[in-house]
Amino acid sequence: MSPPLCRISPFVDIDFALRRQFNKSSHPQREIIVAALEGYDVVVQAATGFGKSLCFQLPAVINSGVTIVVSPLLSLMV
């Protein structure tokens, strides 16, 4: 299986973008964010409070183009 097309510039500073846009100094889900920026399809199933929103918001801020997020928000539909 060939790797996906590389979408991230090797010179993008993820930590700078995180501080600038979200006023946060670090994010423990860095591996998920980097995978999304590299063009991989990413599926994250995690508990409330895990920090899922930054896992899709930060790549959307850094990348040009379209970011598609499928989130059922079942907890809010009850």
The predicted-structure confidence for 14-62, as pLDDT tens digits, reads as follows 888 899 988 988 788 889 988 888 888 888 888 888 888 888 888 888 8
Chain mean pLDDT for the chain: 78
Q: What is the 3-state secondary structure (H, E, C) of 11-72?
A: CCCHHHHHHHHHCCCCCCCHHHHHHHHCCCCCCCCCCCCCCHHHHHHHHHHHCCCCCCCCCC
pLDDT of residue 60: 85
Q: 0.95 cut: is pTM over it?
A: no
Domain boundaries, the chain: 14-77
The answer to whether the beta carbons of residues 54 and 29 sit under 8 Å apart is yes
User: Within 13 A of 31's CA, how many CA atoms are on the CB side?
Assistant: 3
Percent of the chain with pLDDT over 70: 77
Phi, psi of 28 (to 5 degrees): -70, -15
